[in-house]
Amino acid sequence: MKPYIAILIDSFWEAVGNKVLWALLIGWTLILLALAPFGYITERNFRFSSFDIAKRESLIEELAKGTKGQGGRDVQAIAKELEPDFVKELQAAAASDAPARRIRDRQLSEALNHVLTSTKLYSEEAFPTAARRKRLEPLLAQSAESLSPKNLEQLNRELLQLAFPLDLNRARGEQLWIGYAGFKLGDPLGIGRREISEFVEPLLLNFIIKLGLGVVAIFVALIVTSSVIPDTFRSSSLHLLLSKPISRVWLFLWKFFGGCIFVFVNITFVLVGLYLIAGLRFELWNNGLLACIPLLMFVFVIFYSVSALAGLLWGNAIVCVVTCMIFWLFCFSIGFMRDIMRPQVEVNQQVSRVREIGQHVLTVNEQGKVGVWNSTYSVWQPATESGLQGQARTFGPIYDPQQNLIVIKSFFRLPFGELQAPSRKVSVIRLSESSSKLDQPTSESEIAPAPAADETIETNESDAHTAAPAIEESAEPVAGEAESVESNQPTNLSDAREKSLWNSDPGPALPEQLFELLEMDRKLIAVCRAGIYQLSLDKLEMKEVEQASVFGIKIPWIAGNAFEKVTPSDFYLADNTSAAVLSNESGIVIASSGKLDVLKFSGDKFVVEHSLTLSEAGLEGGLEGDGTEASLVQMNDNFCVLARDGLPLAVLDANLKLVGSVSMPASSKARQIAWLPGTNKLAIVTHTGELLQVDCDSLSLVSLNIPYAGKLTSVSWLDADRGWFGVMPNQAHLINVSERKVEQSCVPKSTTFELIYSWFINPLYLVNPKPSALDNTMSYLLSGDKTMTTQLVTRDLEAAQIKLQIWQPIFSNLAFVAVIMGISCIYVARKEF
């Protein structure tokens, strides 16, 4: 046997003989045994849980009205089926100041569950639209008495949903409980399997693996193994080892790897156990768990290399542990500083939309801030004031050339993808006449050629169509706004960064639970949970605005519900909805909960022209999805393309018949999709910054190698060859895709904060060993995603995701380990023991 293998085998027996190893293994076994009985319990169930009630106050109010014979017929029919005790409670609550406080969630859901068992709920008079719903047809064909209890529950749940489309969440049909040894724990979960696999699984696994193994187990292992090297190289047995015909460097290295056996046994035991539990109990056969074994070993090796060097130098196990802790603290501090700064510099600044409005280049960043390119100072000058700080979702900018105004609205994103803003009123920016004079169509000759992508890009006053020169050139500013525009001229760089260029007026309030705000035929189309609403852009004109006066001060817009509903009352949408205007502006396409609808105007209302449920489209092998995926949709005259999170692109024809599916490159997710004008080709900007092109005629997908590929964040096509591209971190470039040429560039000057990040923190982080960055690799192995959402779940594919540095930490850490081990080997070779 090779002598070095003997060292390894001996180390294994040393580990086996270590009581701490056995104590840890027993501890892990107990944890795994405690975890093993956990599992999902699935039932076909339509009953209510507290998660199903979206708007409690409104529901209680409506039900209370129903018990008094008020409200819609459907609500009254439901109120009749409530238990008498609850009705009394409801009426007492309604009479009180705070009705919602008197009725508990559980009480409310139990009352609704009682209604679900009623055989007398349905009547055509109370629910006139129910018969039009396809999935209710088979249930309504039978009498309620003859329905099975589950089918009766389903029917009544649908009827309740019709009566309270906004107050109740749609039933999933399948409910999940966390079970323990076959017993249900608490209420059904408010999330589906996909969300569990997207959010709960990574969170739990990350918690157990990263904290349990990556921190606790490795720290314990470092303490246990810290004595291996000092003992070997300081004890009286060293001279005996060195008298053997072996290399002392190899002796050190094999002793080092021998020390890793302890950790290997621990990690393998836990991860294989977790793999089996996750697979057998939760049907999550995640091979990434097994791939984490070498990765966690590597994390240990990084720390252990430091410990080993300290052991050689000082020969003391306690010093080894302390050195490791100092090393960890150093790495953590650098990583923490970078993690704090990174979203500010790399994520929130990303350009999510670019638009060329007249001579202005407007961008919207991930913070919802609208910037106008100011070439004088080479900065994105704020278009209006914005108080948003975190990641935001922005609707617009929608530009109306007739009135020369821009409509825009940003909402702050909450962790579960919900949108929140202090007010639902849109911002209306009325561009000044001085600007509008320059807002003539841009001629090619006016656009100065831009340098190549790999060159440093500088802009000057003459090469861009910007707000600042536009204002300066205005010879006679008109009264009122023009004056205010002039007063907003920045006088220095700091001013240009902070001073908003235009003033914005609060416009009409958007309807609740907005999914999309589109512009079609000079109308604002708001796609909301309760249906589709419209507002003519003409109504935004100041003259037509009904102004209110408060203490003599005129408020431009206070109307609360200027938007008019243009869909039937029973048309409502699910939580995950995306929509787009057809490229010929003849209607809109909506993707909602695994269903596609094409709606077109018939008179003054939208009607569904084509409809398709994806599970019935013929997609196979799980490609149909479960309807809860975040999606993006686009449609032109010939094709409709649906991009969903984690699924291939579905390509359908104009009648929503499935043409085929196109797989995205591995680990790529669509961030923005847009038709190349006048073609059947769809451009996809991915979260990894690539530009893909899908040819719907041939169902082929190609990656376009254009300047800044890998750093793209958004696209806005001017024609089939040219478009404005958002480029990381906060740039915008006009690129001719066919010629691969950058025609115009907007590269803002870095702020002091960005300079510190770019020239100090980031380089320091780059050269610094970063064991914690291996979490990225671990996340990739567990989820298969190269990008990571900043929210807990992906509700919106357009939200910027953080590009994971998957392999870079491995290389930098390998380099670090190689250096440390090299120093240790030289020390061992030269040291006279």
Partner 1 sequence: MSETPAIDVRQLHKKYTEGLISRKSFHALKGINLEVKRGEVFGLLGPNGAGKTTLIKTLLGIVRRSAGEAFLLGEVAGSREARRKIGYLPENLTFPAHHTATRALRFYGRLSQIPEATIRTRSAELLELVGLAGREKELARTYSKGMRQRLGLAQAMLHSPELLILDEPTDGLDPVGRSEIRRLINGLKEQGKTVFLNSHILQEVELVCDRVAILAGGKLRGVGTPNELTQQFHGALVSRVRMELSGDATVIEKIRTIETSELEPLPDGRWQFSASVESQAEVDALVDRFRAAQISIRQLDRTRLSLEEVFLSAVQAETSV
CA distance 579 to 596: 9
129-155 in b/e form (b: 16+ CB < 10 A) is ebeebeebeebbeeebeebeeebbbbb
SS3 assignment for 622-641: CCCCCCCCCEEEEECCCEEE
Taking the complex as a whole, how short is the minimal distance between the CB of residue 316 and partner 1, in angstroms? Answer: 17
**Residue 21 or 213 having the CB closest to partner 1:** 21
Taking the complex as a whole, how short is the minimal distance between the CB of residue 23 and partner 1, in angstroms? Answer: 16
Closest among 52, 18, 35, 553 to 263, alpha carbons compared: 18
**Residue 17 or 621 having the CB closest to partner 1:** 17
Angle in degrees, CA 594, 599, 601, rounded to 5 = 165
Taking the complex as a whole, how short is the minimal distance between the CB of residue 10 and partner 1, in angstroms? Answer: 5
Taking the complex as a whole, how short is the minimal distance between the CB of residue 238 and partner 1, in angstroms? Answer: 8
3-state helix, strand, coil in the chain (%, to 5): 40, 25, 35
**Residue 1 or 98 having the CB closest to partner 1:** 1
Do strands 801-803 and 712-717 pair parallel, antiparallel, or not at all (unpaired)? unpaired
Return the axis-axis angle of helices 808-830 and 288-314, rounded to nearest 10°: 30
**Residue 239 or 554 having the CB closest to partner 1:** 239
**8 A C-beta contact, residue 574 and residue 592:** yes
Tokens 């089918």, located at residue: 151
Taking the complex as a whole, how short is the minimal distance between the CB of residue 293 and partner 1, in angstroms? Answer: 25
Widest distance between CA atoms in the chain: 100
**8 A C-beta contact, residue 530 and residue 569:** no
**Residue 329 or 826 having the CB closest to partner 1:** 826
| Residues 6+ away with beta carbon under 8 Å from 200 | 191
**Residue 186 or 245 having the CB closest to partner 1:** 245
10 Å CB burial of residue 236 (0-12, 13-18, 19+) is: exposed
Taking the complex as a whole, how short is the minimal distance between the CB of residue 7 and partner 1, in angstroms? Answer: 8
Taking the complex as a whole, how short is the minimal distance between the CB of residue 264 and partner 1, in angstroms? Answer: 17
CA distance 466 to 358: 10
Taking the complex as a whole, how short is the minimal distance between the CB of residue 1 and partner 1, in angstroms? Answer: 5
DSSP 574: -
**Residue 232 or 772 having the CB closest to partner 1:** 232
Taking the complex as a whole, how short is the minimal distance between the CB of residue 319 and partner 1, in angstroms? Answer: 19
Q: How far apart are the first and last CA of the chain?
A: 27
Taking the complex as a whole, how short is the minimal distance between the CB of residue 261 and partner 1, in angstroms? Answer: 12
Residues that bind partner 1 (CB under 8 A): 1, 3, 5-7, 10, 13-14, 16-18, 231, 235-237, 239-247, 832-833
**Residue 24 or 501 having the CB closest to partner 1:** 24
H or E segment and range at residue 395: strand 392-400
Taking the complex as a whole, how short is the minimal distance between the CB of residue 821 and partner 1, in angstroms? Answer: 22
Backbone angles phi, psi at 73, to 5 degrees: -65, -35
**Residue 10 or 544 having the CB closest to partner 1:** 10
Number of H-type helices and E-type strands within the chain: 25, 36
**Residue 14 or 796 having the CB closest to partner 1:** 14
CA distance 222 to 320: 9
Which residue spans within 575-686 are E strands per DSSP?
Answer: 577-581, 587-592, 595-602, 605-613, 631-635, 639-644, 649-653, 658-662, 670-675, 681-686
Taking the complex as a whole, how short is the minimal distance between the CB of residue 29 and partner 1, in angstroms? Answer: 22
Do strands 174-180 and 38-44 pair parallel, antiparallel, or not at all (unpaired)? antiparallel
Closest among 819, 822, 825 to 768, alpha carbons compared: 819
Secondary structure class of 302 (helix, strand, coil): helix
Secondary structure class of 188 (helix, strand, coil): coil
**Residue 3 or 279 having the CB closest to partner 1:** 3
Taking the complex as a whole, how short is the minimal distance between the CB of residue 317 and partner 1, in angstroms? Answer: 14
Among positive and negative, which fits the CA dihedral 327, 330, 334, 336?
positive
**Residue 150 or 244 having the CB closest to partner 1:** 244
**Residue 236 or 584 having the CB closest to partner 1:** 236
**Residue 258 or 707 having the CB closest to partner 1:** 258
Tokens at 76, concatenated: 């009254």
Taking the complex as a whole, how short is the minimal distance between the CB of residue 223 and partner 1, in angstroms? Answer: 17
CA distance 355 to 367: 17
**8 A C-beta contact, residue 353 and residue 367:** no
**Residue 18 or 58 having the CB closest to partner 1:** 18
Neighbouring C-beta atoms of residue 560, cutoff 10 Å: 10
Taking the complex as a whole, how short is the minimal distance between the CB of residue 321 and partner 1, in angstroms? Answer: 19
| Residues 6+ away with beta carbon under 8 Å from 490 | 374, 376, 377, 381, 468, 496, 499
**Residue 2 or 120 having the CB closest to partner 1:** 2
**Residue 17 or 422 having the CB closest to partner 1:** 17
| Residues 6+ away with beta carbon under 8 Å from 826 | none
Taking the complex as a whole, how short is the minimal distance between the CB of residue 2 and partner 1, in angstroms? Answer: 8
Taking the complex as a whole, how short is the minimal distance between the CB of residue 832 and partner 1, in angstroms? Answer: 4
H or E segment and range at residue 176: strand 174-180
Taking the complex as a whole, how short is the minimal distance between the CB of residue 330 and partner 1, in angstroms? Answer: 24
**Residue 235 or 561 having the CB closest to partner 1:** 235
CA distance 506 to 424: 9
